[in-house]
Amino acid sequence: MGIKEECGVFGIYDTEGGCAQSVYYGLYALQHRGQEDCGIATINNLELSCHKGKGLVGEVFTEAILNELNGTMAIGHVRYASSRRLDKENTQPLALKYIKGSLAVAHNGALINSAELKREYEYKGAVFHTTTDSEVIAYIIAQARLHSGSAEAAVNQAMKRLKGAYSLVVMSSRKLIAARDPGGFRPLCIGRKGSAIFFASESCALDSIEATFIRDVEPGEIVWVNDGELHSNRENCTGTSSLCVFEHLYFARPDSVIDGQSVYDARILSGRYLAREHPIDADVVIGVPDSGLAAAKGYALESGIPYKDGIVMNRYIGRTFITPKQSSREEAVKIKLNPLRATISGKRVIIVDDSIVRGTTVVNNIKLLRDSGAKEVHMLSSAPKFIAPCNYGTDIPSKDVLIANKYTTEEMREIIGADSLGFLSVESLKKIAPDSNCAFCDACFTENYPV
């Protein structure tokens, strides 16, 4: 399989300039979506500039670099790569110049027909310099622009060829464009601050720059800014949607609102449903930082068992789930979390995590609790069992790495060393986001792929 990414994108159109600084803060707020590399591209007087590199946003950009990138439009990207290919060429935004001018693309998601499209254009003489879907998307847009009257029309034509998950921010010499695939697999929203217009993967990025959330980009919709005015094309909107439900369980920040649903409230609900499905006699409920905390609080609220902080996170190490190499994951888990013995020692402990994928993390967490004197350890997952790979950008590449495909629940319980083990049911999963105006993709739990 090629590189698949779960990333963050951000864009701004502001005639007053200073756009690079706003993108910098927006990407900082989206850092949880990708920690391997990042980049910013800007347009100033029709000229395209770009700076990108490996590392966190605060490491790649300095004040001097941001000042050099000053412009009236800018897009940015944070990335994690789920494969071992961390080539610098794959860092986004992808910026290029062609016969119609300049083009920059930042993309979150994964195409299922990327290899097919790439092969088609290679036979027509195209030369690709990266292994990303983003370059395929950029090439198709550039080709379509040669026969279209505008950049947004070219994006519209390109969308008719793309299959899979993509939330895009695209920048031409004069326009800022955002687009979301017809399934709406990945989030994308619109904000405004004064005359400036923003596009962001999550609403928390708008909050970071004190922009007002306007609305979500609809699945299949293209929106663009021209001369400061926002426009929309809904030609590709189908009325159906398949937002990745893992956005609510893990990916998104809890202070974000996605397609009408508070992420925090969704996680609280997942914990409440866990308590109804898996009642346990215990002394304390704890969560695995950070994405398991709200679900643990939900379990405590529903069950009446006290919630307490039981594990402290080292804030200076990235998420183990998105560390590319398995060996790195195992080492990172050991130095990332540390137990609070006063909460755990001599107690019957319920520990809630957002999911159990490979099983590495949960084994280490349970050992931490045992070593800290826990009398019993009951493990709960606020997601159902992972049984299938994701084709749309989440780091679940094959069935072979999924522990739930190798063992029964009882066998898994023995392997991880828990006194009991429970998963949220698929039926309850479908009810954790009652305020959402999007339906969900749950293929990794059901093998029911929308595309």
User: Do 379 and 362 meet the contact criterion of CB atoms below 8 Å apart?
Assistant: yes
Catalytic residue among 7, 50, 244, 390: 7
Q: What are residue 73's phi and psi, to 5 degrees?
A: -140, 150
Q: How far is the C-alpha of 150 from the C-alpha of 302, rounded, in Å?
A: 54
Distances (CA, A) of 336 to 84, 252, 254, 284: 21, 20, 20, 22
Kindly give the residue spans of alpha helices, DSSP state H, lying in 164-262: 203-208, 246
- 444 is an active site residue: no
Q: How far is the C-alpha of 201 from the C-alpha of 387, rounded, in Å?
A: 27
Residue 77: which region, alpha, beta or left (left: phi > 0; alpha: psi -120 to 50)?
Answer: beta
> Across the chain, which distance is largest between two alpha carbons, in Å?
71
User: Do 39 and 53 meet the contact criterion of CB atoms below 8 Å apart?
Assistant: yes
Distances (CA, A) of 250 to 147, 291, 441: 41, 6, 14
- How many separate helices (H) and strands (E) can be counted in the chain? 16, 23
Catalytic site residues? 7
